[in-house]
Amino acid sequence: MRIALVSPYDWLTPGGVNRHVDQLADHLTGAGHYVRILAPASDEVHDPRVITAGRPVSIPASGSTVRISLDPLLGRRVRRTLEEEQFDVVHVHEPLMPSLPIQVLRNSRKANPNVVNVGTFHARKDGGNRLYGYGRVLLKRWFRELDGKIAVSPPAATYVEHYFPGYYNVIPNGVDIERWEDPALEPFPEFEDDAINILYVGRAEKRKGLPYLIRAFGIVNARTPNTRLIVVGRESRRWDRYRFIEDTRPGVVFRGAVPNAELPRYHRSADIFCSPATGNESQGIVLLEAMAARLPVVASNIDGYASVLTEGVEGNLVPPQDVIALADALTALVNDPARRAQMAAAGRLRAEDYSWPRITARLLAYYARLRDAQGAVGIARTRERAAAWHA
C-alpha cells in the first residue's frame, strides 16, 4: 500500500504525535509498504520520507504551545502532492487541527476517489476543547471525510466523542521495546553510585506537574538523603524558573533537552520513574517507555495514565497535585527494592501489549477492513449506475 501519515505539528519540534508518526512510519516501511510523512517544518528536513507542507507558527493550546501551519496557500501544495503520490491510505493525526490536516481531507478524494481516509485522535483536555466546541458545525464537514476513526485510549475516545459522536477504534500509541531494553545501553557514570535515582522526563510546563515533583522530592530527600532527582526535558520559558533549584536543593539534577538517542541511557541510570501530570493526558507514552525500560512508575491518578498503569501492579497512582501523597509513594519505593523489582517486571510484561509490531499489525488490519468496505461501496455504486442506465 501507498500510505501517507500526516502530522499537523512542526516536524523539527519533538512531541508525542511526531514521535508516534515517525515510529509508525518505520514499522509500516519495515512491513513492505510505501510511506510518506506530510508535516510542516521550521527548517529544511533531511529525511527522504518527509514532505514538508507549510511553515509553522506557535499557538497556545491546552496549557502548552503547539507549532502548526496556518498558511492560507497550503491547499495548492497539498493537492499537488496528493495527486503526484496517489496514496491508497491517508492517515491523518489530529485530523481536525488547523490547517494541514483539514487541507489534506479537503483534497484527498479529489486526488484519488478511491483513497481511504483515517484519522487518529491523540488529545484529551480535561476542561474541554474550545476549537471543537465553537467550530464543530464547520468541522463536521471534514469529520465526515474520515472513513475510519481511531483514538489512542478510551479516555481520548470519550473526549472526542463528546463533540463528534461515532465509533472510535481504540489503537494506542506504540512503544519500541527493544530500544528501551537494549543490553548495550550503559548508565551514565555520574549516576552510578549508591543513590536511588528518580527520573522525570517532560517539558517544564504547569500541566506536567514538575513543581509538585520538586516539592515532593524535597520531602523524600529529607527522609532519605541518599536519593537523586534527574530532570530531563525540552527547555521552555519556564525552564529558567527551575534551574536555580539545582544549586539550592540537594540531589536535584537538570539535564534539559537531551539527544533522543541518549534518552534510554537516563532510564538505564534510574531506579524509579515519576510523571506527576495534572491532567490533559490521553494515554501517557512516557509511562509505557518507562515500563519497557523496566522501571517502576509513580504517576498521577488521571484517566490517561490509569488506562495503561494499574495501581499497585506496574506502579502507584497518586492524586494529582498532592505533594504529600507523591512524596509518600516515592519514599515507599525508595525503601523497598523488592517491590521496585516486582513492579518493574510487571511493567515490562504490560509494555508488550503496546509493542510496535502488535500496534502496526492492528493498524494494517484496520486499513484492510476499511479498504474492503470502500471497495464494496464502489461496487454497489457501479451496480446502481448500471441499473439506472439500463432502466
| Residue partners of 2: CB distance under 8 A and separation at least 6 | 33, 34, 85, 86, 87, 88, 89
H or E segment and range at residue 227: strand 227-232
Q: Enter the C-alpha cell of residue 15.
A: 512531541
Is 73 found in the same domain as 6? yes
Q: Is the pTM of this model over 0.85?
A: yes
Is 258 found in the same domain as 165? no
Q: Which of 156, 151, 141, 133 is nearest to 109 (CA)?
A: 141
Q: To which residue does cell 491547499 refer?
A: 75
Determine the residue type at 214: I
Sequence-ordered alpha helix ranges (H) in the chain: 16-30, 74-85, 100-111, 130-143, 154-163, 177-180, 210-223, 239-243, 245-248, 263-269, 285-292, 303-306, 323-334, 337-351, 356-390
Q: Enter the C-alpha cell of residue 272.
A: 524509579
| Residue partners of 157: CB distance under 8 A and separation at least 6 | 121, 151, 168, 170
Please give the residue range of the domain that contains residue 73. 2-174+356-390
Sequence-ordered alpha helix ranges (H) in 252-319: 263-269, 285-292, 303-306
Is 296 found in the same domain as 277? yes
Is 215 found in the same domain as 137? no
Is 328 found in the same domain as 369? no
| Residue partners of 371: CB distance under 8 A and separation at least 6 | 88, 89, 116
β pairing state of 227-232 and 196-201:
parallel
Is 13 found in the same domain as 157? yes
Q: How high is the pLDDT of residue 169?
A: 96
Distance CA 211, CA 278 (A): 11
Q: Which phi and psi angles does 190 have, rounded to 5°?
A: -70, -15
Report the length, in residues, of the chain: 391
Is 194 found in the same domain as 170? no
| Residue partners of 186: CB distance under 8 A and separation at least 6 | 265, 268
Is 193 found in the same domain as 112? no
For every one of its 391 residues, what pLDDT tens digit does the chain have, with 9 covering 90 and above?
999 999 999 999 888 899 999 999 999 999 999 999 999 999 999 999 999 999 999 887 655 678 899 888 899 999 999 999 999 999 999 999 988 999 999 999 999 999 999 999 998 776 667 777 778 888 999 999 999 999 999 999 999 998 999 999 999 999 999 999 888 999 999 999 999 999 999 887 778 999 999 999 999 999 999 999 999 986 655 666 666 676 667 899 988 888 888 999 999 999 999 999 998 888 888 999 999 999 999 999 999 999 999 999 999 999 999 999 999 999 999 999 999 999 999 999 999 999 999 999 999 999 999 999 987 655 444 444 445 444 5
Distance CA 211, CA 382 (A): 61
Q: Which of 118, 124, 120 is nearest to 158 (CA)?
A: 124
Is 62 found in the same domain as 197? no
Q: Which of 216, 231, 221 is nearest to 195 (CA)?
A: 221
Contact 179, 263 (CB under 8 A): no
Contact 207, 64 (CB under 8 A): yes
Q: How high is the pLDDT of residue 388?
A: 46
The domain total for the chain is 2
Is 363 found in the same domain as 236? no
Distance CA 85, CA 112 (A): 10
Distance CA 299, CA 318 (A): 6
Q: How high is the pLDDT of residue 134?
A: 77
Is 342 found in the same domain as 231? yes
Ramachandran area for residue 322 (φ above 0: left; ψ -120 to 50: alpha; else beta): beta
Contact 214, 200 (CB under 8 A): no
Contact 330, 219 (CB under 8 A): no
Paired residues of 228 in beta bridges? 197
Distance CA 123, CA 237 (A): 23
Domain containing residue 294: CATH number:
3.40.50.2000
Query: Which DSSP state fits 174?
Result: P
Is 298 found in the same domain as 271? yes
